[in-house]
Amino acid sequence: MSQGKRAFFFPGQGSQTVGMLGDMIGSEALVSSTFFEASEVLGYDLLDLIANGPEEELNRTEKTQPAILAASVALWRLWQEKQGAMPDFFAGHSLGEYSALVAANVIHFKDAIKLVETRGRLMQSAVPVGEGAMAAIIGLEDADVIAACAVSGDEVCEAVNFNAPGQVVIAGTAKGVDIAMAAAKEKGAKRALPLSVSAPSHCALMRPAAEQLATELSMIDWRVPSRPIIQNVDALAHSDVEILRTNLVEQLYRPVQWVRSVQFAAQEGVVWAAECGPGKVLSGLVKRIDKSIAVSALEQPDGFAQALTDSQG
Tell me if the bond preceding 165 is cis, omega within 30° of 0.
no
CA 192 to chain centre: 21
Question: Which among 138, 133, 139, 166 is positioned nearest to 152, based on CA atoms?
Answer: 133
94 catalytic? Reply is yes
DSSP per residue, 86-154: PPSEEEESTTHHHHHHHHTTSS-HHHHHHHHHHHHHHHHHHS-TTTEEEEEEES--HHHHHHHHHTTTT
Strands 89-92 and 229-230: parallel
Strands 294-297, 270-275: pairing is: parallel
Q: Looking at the chain, list the stretches that DSSP marks H as alpha helix, in order from N- to C-terminal side.
A: 22-27, 29-42, 46-52, 55-58, 61-81, 96-103, 109-126, 142-150, 174-186, 207-217, 241-250, 258-267, 281-289, 301-312
Question: Out of 15, 39, 152, 202, which one is annotated catalytic?
Answer: 202
Evaluate whether 285 touches 263 at the Cβ level (below 8 Å).
no
Give every CB contact of residue 189 below 8 A, 6+ residues apart in sequence.
Answer: 137, 138, 139, 140, 144, 145, 148
Check: CB of residue 72 under 8 Å from CB of residue 299: no
Active site residue 198: no
Q: Which of 15, 39, 94, 261 is catalytic?
A: 94
Catalytic residue set: 94, 202
